[in-house]
Structure 1
Amino acid sequence: MSNPLIRACDHYVVLEPGQEERFLDKDETLFWLESWLGKLQELPKDLKSQGSVESAAQRLLDTACDLEIKPGFTLQWFAVRLDPHL
C-alpha cells in the first residue's frame, strides 16, 4: 500500500520506453494515464470494475506506479516534490 503522504504530491515524473522523462502535474498525469488506458482493447482485470477510463486512471494513480501495455512495454509514474526555489 502506498504512503498517504505521496498523495499530497502534485507532480509526477512519467516514464515511457524510448522517451525522455517528463514532469507533469496531477491533472496532466491523469490525462496521460487516461489516454494510454483508452488505447487498450480491454482494461486490466483489476480496473474493469471502475466503470470508466477516468476512474481507472485515478485508481492507478492512487494505488500503482506502473502499467504494462504489452510485454516489454511498461509505463511508470512516480510522485515527486518539485521545489520552486531551486
Structure 2
Amino acid sequence: MSDPLIRALDDYVVLEPGKPEQLLSAADTLTWLSGWLRSLDQLPADLAGQPDLDAAAQRLIDTACDLEISPGITLQWFAVRLEPPTA
C-alpha cells in the first residue's frame, strides 16, 4: 500500500527525454500528462476504461510514475515535497 502522505503532495518533478527537468504543481502535472495522453494513438489498456483523459491522467498519477510514449521513450513524474510537513 502506498504512503497516504504522497496524496498530500502538491508538486512534481517531470522528466521528458531531451528536456531539462521541470517542477510542476499537481494541477499542471495533470494537464501535462493529459496532453501527452491526447497525443498517443491509443491509450494503454489499463487506461482505456477511464471516462476521459483527465481521469486517465489522474489514474496514472495515482498508480504509476512513468508512461512509455513510444518504444524506448518514457515520461516520468515524481511527487516531491518542497516544504517540511508541519506537526
- Give the shorter-chain TM-score range: over 0.9
Match of 1:77 in 2: 77
TM-score norm. by structure 1 comes to: 0.92
TM-score norm. by structure 2 comes to: 0.91
The answer to whether the Cα contact below 8 Å between 1:15 and 1:77 also exists between their aligned partners in 2 is yes
Unaligned residue ranges in structure 2 (runs of 5+): none
Match of 2:8 in 1: 8
- Alpha-carbon separation, structure 2, partners of 1:78 and 1:40: 21
What CA deviation, in whole Å up to 9, does each residue of 1:20-56 have, x standing for no partner?
Answer: 0000000000000000000011110000011210100
Match of 1:33 in 2: 33
Amino acid in structure 1 at the alignment position of 2:65: C
Pairs aligned (count): 84
Match of 1:17 in 2: 17
The answer to whether the Cα contact below 8 Å between 1:30 and 1:58 also exists between their aligned partners in 2 is yes
Q: Identity, % of aligned pairs?
A: 64
